[in-house]
Chain A
Amino acid sequence: MPKKSPRRTRVRRSPGPRSQRAGGRTVRPAGTSSRRVPVQLRVLAHARSGDKGDTANVGLIALEPEYYPILVKEVTRARVARHFKGMVKGVDRFELPNLQALNFLLHGALDGGGTISLKTDAQGKVYSTALLRMEILVPAAIARAARRSAGL
């Protein structure tokens, strides 16, 4: 692979967003206002997680009101399941527009959970931060602003 160049006209495609871009949608050239670039959820959201038995929950909360619709659209149940492939057995998603938050249930995530689990994170306390690693595509202007606010 050649080194990344600022003149590249195609955005980097991560395996997740690609499937959502199916259906004949073309990738726009760089420089247009709707160019989309990958960012980690950590610059768009904060999160907290907890447990119920062998299920970890992750509440993902938009850092700004305008990020919430992006999270709703991009952080789908299927994409989160793919993100945690091999780590969880199933995913549910719920929307809380009033809190600008999504709640994910990650089933089978905790090696039995509670007292049974041998994991360091037996009660899923930091599963939230593992979700914040996920990358989604957002308009370049939003990515710039979000990264700047996050100090990155």
Chain B
Amino acid sequence: MTDKIVRVAAGQGFWGDWLEAPVRQVQGGPIDYLMMDYLAEVTMSIMQKQKSRDPKYGYARDFVPLMERILPDIAARGIRVTSNAGGVNPRACAEAVREAARRKGLSQRVRIGLVSGDDILPRLDELLAKGHALTDMDTGRPLSGIRDKVLSANAYLGMAPMVEALRQGAQVIITGRVTDTGLTLGPLFHEFGWSPTDWDKVAAGTVAGHIIECGAQSSGGNLLRDWRKVKGLANPGFPIVEASADGSFVVTKHPGTGGVVNIPSVTEQLVYEMGDPHTYITPDGIADFTSIQLRQAGKDRVRVSGIRGRARTDMLKVSIAYFYGYKAVGTLVYSWPEAYDKAKAADRILRQRLTDLGLEFEQILTEYVGVDATHGPLAGPPNPDAPEVQLRVGVRGPDKKAVERFTREIAPLVLTGPPSVTGFAGGRPEVQEVVAYWPALIDRTEIEPFVKVEVLDA
């Protein structure tokens, strides 16, 4: 069975990605698995906010109508779906998909897998009491300092529960915080029967997962190199991994779709969000990105091979969301002549008014869109003849009243500040709650016994 090929197709690269993509992946050619990644660091925080308003929510709600749309096709073609759309409420998500299957008359044919146990919020105090400091990996601060502000805490799970759900016959598997790469690793290990301690295979599957986890970002979307030559992005082909039993794989896309799969497109995705390339750590093992070999193997086909890995660590990463404070961002547009000078004058006036009102913030940040917003001082001197410059001022702090008052100080500038100002049709800026991210580590022995795999009956 050495010539067996397993096709894992990316359907979503983030929560909010192109809704047509999974439909076209299912209908556009042969695939075995549809992998839908919904979770980024900030996504869990957003879902937690929604769950705190309504306990029925807290997952990627787009996923349910999407599944309702493709369930008949995946049932007919035997395609299996792996997704972390469950967010901070995978059970509610799985129930909603089960309802959708019932509505389509498919509840007997499509079995829903549910992976839970990543949520450690109910056990947080117990874990702290046992001596797990859950120190912030970036700042070194102990969690105890913000314990009363914690809103959610989830361990990143690996592929093991996914493999188990597939073994038990689940066709649509919904998880909480399973790693992005685990959604691809699970199907490969299930299909090829690889040993979970075959670290090179773990690394290969991890790299495959990393290449497709951001959807079209590896198949021509957001591709800087020769971007004008990337055609057909009105109908981008999302990436598909065609994996072989030896751990090598081809990245491709369905024929007749737009975009491109070439060495530059795959390389740009490989370096995206990269840390130390020798040590790409997942719950399942460590991948060495300096071992990856790429070769163009036909039009829109890149062969990936040679990947080496090392043993997994004893720790799992934990994603903690906590209430941080409030922020708001206000914008105004100043027009030629002397647009930039007018915007700068408005910023000075605004800041003076905030000071005079006695408002205090942790941060006030001013950017001039069209001048320095993305490149800062590297952008060089502003164009003196710029047709317009957008003034963009943000504030952040613990005091909601101060942030609210700031939002009322933008509009008055229109009639009480520098001239030639417009762009205020949107009304007062919104006060946003800031839910921040706290990455930590925990012994895997504290998590793994609690991970649960269920296959829901119709």
Interface residues of chain A, those whose CB is within 8 Å of chain B, are: 46-55, 57, 59, 61, 63, 83-84, 86-87, 92, 94-99, 101, 103, 105, 111-116, 118-121, 126, 128-130, 133
Contact B268 A115 (CB under 8 A): no
| B434 CB within 8 Å of chain A | yes
| A111 in contact with B272 given A53-B437, A116-B436 (CB within 8 Å) | no
Number of B interface residues in the complex (CB < 8 A): 48
**Cβ–Cβ < 8 Å partners of B375 in chain A:** 129-130, 133
- The total of Cβ contacts below 8 Å across the A-B interface reads 131
| B222 CB within 8 Å of chain A | yes
| A98 in contact with B291 given A53-B437, A105-B275, A120-B373 (CB within 8 Å) | yes
| A118 in contact with B268 given A94-B277, A96-B277, A133-B378 (CB within 8 Å) | no
Contact B271 A59 (CB under 8 A): yes
| B396 CB within 8 Å of chain A | yes
List B255-279 residues whose CB lies under 8 Å from chain A.
Answer: 264, 267-278
**Cβ–Cβ < 8 Å partners of A63 in chain B:** 225
Q: Which residue of B lies closest to A47 (CB)?
A: B224
Q: Which residue of B lies closest to A49 (CB)?
A: B272
Contact B271 A48 (CB under 8 A): yes
Contact A120 B374 (CB under 8 A): yes
- Measured CB to CB, the closest approach of chain A to B309, in angstroms, equals 15
Contact B439 A130 (CB under 8 A): no
Interface residues of chain B, those whose CB is within 8 Å of chain A, are: 41-42, 45, 138, 222, 224-225, 264, 267-278, 289-294, 324, 327, 329, 363, 365, 367, 369, 373-378, 392, 394-396, 434-437, 439
Contact B224 A46 (CB under 8 A): yes
| A103 in contact with B273 given A115-B436, A116-B436 (CB within 8 Å) | no
Q: Which residue of A lies closest to B294 (CB)?
A: A99
Contact B374 A46 (CB under 8 A): no
Contact B324 A115 (CB under 8 A): yes
Contact B41 A94 (CB under 8 A): no
Contact B292 A57 (CB under 8 A): no
- Measured CB to CB, the closest approach of chain A to B219, in angstroms, equals 14
- Measured CB to CB, the closest approach of chain A to B349, in angstroms, equals 19
Contact B290 A98 (CB under 8 A): yes
- Measured CB to CB, the closest approach of chain B to A144, in angstroms, equals 20
Cα distance, A55 to B327, chains bound together (Å)? 21
**Cβ–Cβ < 8 Å partners of B378 in chain A:** 83-84, 87, 130, 133
Cα distance, A119 to B392, chains bound together (Å)? 9
Contact A48 B373 (CB under 8 A): no
